[in-house]
Amino acid sequence: MTDLLQKAARTAAEFRTGLPERPVAARADVDAMRAAFAAPLPETPTPASEVVDELIRTADPGLTANAGPRFFGFVIGGGLPSATAADMLAVGWDQCAFNGVLAPAAIAAEEVAADWIKQLLGIPRTASAGFVTGAQEANTVGLAAARHHVLATAGWDVERDGLVGAPRIRVVAGEERHATIDRALRLLGFGDRVLELVPADDNGAIDPAQLDRVLADGEPGPLIVCLQAGNVNTGACDPLGEAADIAHRHGAWVHVDGAFGLWAAANPRTAHLVAGIEKADSWGCDAHKWLNVPYDSGFVFVSRPEAHAGTMSHSAAYLTGSAEQVAGSSFVLGSSRRGRGFAVWAALRELGREGVAELVDRCCRHARHFADVLATGGARVVNDVVLNQVLVDVHADADAVAAAVRQEGTCWLGATTWRGQRLLRLSVSNYGTTTADVERSAEAILRVAKQVRDGAAG
Ligand SMILES: *Cc1c(COP(=O)(O)O)cnc(C)c1O
């Protein structure tokens, strides 16, 4: 065991320290990896050390350097040193963060980390918290708490009686909401067609007057409004405070999907983007994106703990149980969980309030610099770079350029569709990205875009 875990740690450490110089895209594609892993079901045992050697050898060509400083695809983030080590310990300790009786350290670390996050983000400290796999689960749990509360207010016990025959719930969201909101609504029995959409402005944030108009245009009754902090394409944030005030005037529960955008609150220079965050009723957020904690790690906060536990607790322990029984799995979809709180606790302990602010600020500065260098090189920056996301038109087929840039290996980026146009999308969310990384990547993007244009012309 000792040799094996030391080897695993050494291999991970070599991989991580080599990231800045490793080609960012995987050397082998998924078909090559399928061929490499393909084998009949083993009939007999193999010594653990041979298994681990084989795994390392087989997987390495198919590993992407997404934890490295020049990965700008999706919204990914890296893994801070302390958080990575803490997550390795969480696996080594193999705690089951079910509740405080079973895993006292894991639950206590979650509770302290949750309180720190609430202070950093400006979420009421009385809110309940669940450590989830990511924002998809956070949105699902937050909206389940919303469903519980708006139906309880209408005199309906949804946990006991289900949705058949329940009062109708209206659900209103911005047209630029994340797809995980739709999936959460499907899982919760609402169906896609429940959604009433509020138009968004050019950068993807809703207009509060339009929200008011949509809300006024319907019967009074149970109502949920979904807002967003951090559009995956543009970084735009809905005007949370104003929108929450309007929604509450109409009697709504307000859920905020802030997978990465909520971290704007932790940086004094971007906090205005999410002003009024504290007015919402539930919040979903990720640690594995901008906080640079390894996958899978996110949070859900709910302003009314009784609605949170009322919908998630799998027994009546929230009514009768001790504090230990209520903690942990009473606030998430999972029952047996890894001790996710250790890595979050470690990241916050390593960075402190100032370090988190600086991390967010640095990524935003890099995003603006990226936009400036690309624009100087002739590209057209399409979005208002308010946060860490940049959309660019390099006057060439965006998908072809993205694929060619990945092939070239300097950096990794993807293409997206924004307002009917295919564009390159850059997300700066890694703690290790430097100005030199940004400039080297921008140069590679411009050079490859020219090659694609010349190739298309020739
Ligand atoms: C990434 C993201 C999600 C989904 O988060 P997961 O951590 O992948 O579950 C939801 N909403 C927004 C705005 C996101 O950026």
Concatenated DSSP letters of 200-253: B-TTSPBPHHHHHHHHHSS-SS-EEEEEEBS-TTT--B--HHHHHHHHHHTT-E
pTM confidence score: 0.96
Dihedrals phi, psi of 318, to nearest 5 degrees: -70, -20
Report how far apart, in Å, the C-alpha atoms of 187 and of each of 181, 190, 333 are. Answer: 10, 8, 12
Location of each CATH 3.40.640.10 domain in the chain: 85-346
Q: Ligand 1 centre from 315 Cα, in Å?
A: 29
Q: Ligand 1 centre from 175 Cα, in Å?
A: 16
Binding pocket residue ranges, ligand 1, CB within 6 Å: 75, 134-136, 178, 180, 228, 230, 232, 257, 259-260, 286, 298
Cis peptide bond prior to 296, omega within 30° of 0: yes
* Distance of alpha carbon 210 from alpha carbon 194, whole angstroms: 18
Q: Ligand 1 centre from 180 Cα, in Å?
A: 7
Testing ligand 1's pocket by substitution, the residue of 140, 238, 256, 257 carrying the most ligand atoms inside 8 A of its CB is 257
In sequence order, which residues have a C-beta less than 8 Å from that of residue 213 and are 6 or more positions away? none
Q: Ligand 1 centre from 213 Cα, in Å?
A: 28
Q: If 0-12 CB within 10 Å is exposed, 13-18 middle and 19+ buried, where does residue 215 land? A: buried
Which pLDDT does position 316 carry in this prediction? Answer: 54
Which pLDDT does position 319 carry in this prediction? Answer: 46
Residue 169 half-sphere exposure toward CB, CA atoms < 13 A: 30
In sequence order, which residues have a C-beta less than 8 Å from that of residue 224 and are 6 or more positions away? 143, 146, 147, 150, 169, 170, 171, 172, 252, 253, 255
Atom of ligand 1 at shortest range from CA of 137: 9
Report how far apart, in Å, the C-alpha atoms of 179 and of each of 61, 126, 162 are. Answer: 31, 29, 24
Residue located via tokens 């529960």:
253
In sequence order, which residues have a C-beta less than 8 Å from that of residue 62 and are 6 or more positions away? 26, 27, 28, 29, 30, 32, 33, 36
Q: Ligand 1 centre from 37 Cα, in Å?
A: 30
Which of 87, 71, 77 has the alpha carbon at shortest distance from 12?
A: 87
Residues in the chain: 458
Q: Ligand 1 centre from 231 Cα, in Å?
A: 10
Q: Identify the sign of the CA torsion 367, 368, 372, 373.
A: negative
- Token couple for 425: 């999308």
Which pLDDT does position 36 carry in this prediction? Answer: 98
Average pLDDT, consecutive stretches of 10 residues, N- to C-terminus, the chain (458 residues): 97 96 95 98 98 98 97 96 98 94 95 98 98 98 98 96 97 98 98 96 97 95 98 98 98 98 98 98 98 97 96 66 68 94 98 98 98 98 98 98 96 96 98 98 98 89
Q: Judge whether 307 and 148 are in contact, CB under 8 Å.
A: yes
Q: Judge whether 413 and 405 are in contact, CB under 8 Å.
A: yes
Considering only the top CATH level, what class is 85-346? alpha beta
Q: Identify the sign of the CA torsion 371, 372, 373, 375.
A: positive
End-to-end CA distance of the chain: 59
Testing ligand 1's pocket by substitution, the residue of 136, 344, 388, 425 carrying the most ligand atoms inside 8 A of its CB is 136
Beta bridge partners of 409: none
* Sheet with strand 223-228: strands edge to edge: 128-132, 298-302, 282-286, 253-257, 223-228, 170-174, 195-198
104-138 tens-digit pLDDT: 999 999 999 999 999 999 999 999 999 999 999 99
Q: Ligand 1 centre from 139 Cα, in Å?
A: 9
Residue 89 half-sphere exposure toward CB, CA atoms < 13 A: 14
* Distance of alpha carbon 412 from alpha carbon 171, whole angstroms: 37
- Token couple for 344: 């979050």
In sequence order, which residues have a C-beta less than 8 Å from that of residue 356 and are 6 or more positions away? 120, 263, 266, 267, 291, 348
Q: How far is CA 143 from the centre of its chain?
A: 16
Testing ligand 1's pocket by substitution, the residue of 132, 140, 176, 178 carrying the most ligand atoms inside 8 A of its CB is 178
Atom of ligand 1 at shortest range from CA of 231: 13
Dihedrals phi, psi of 429, to nearest 5 degrees: -140, 15
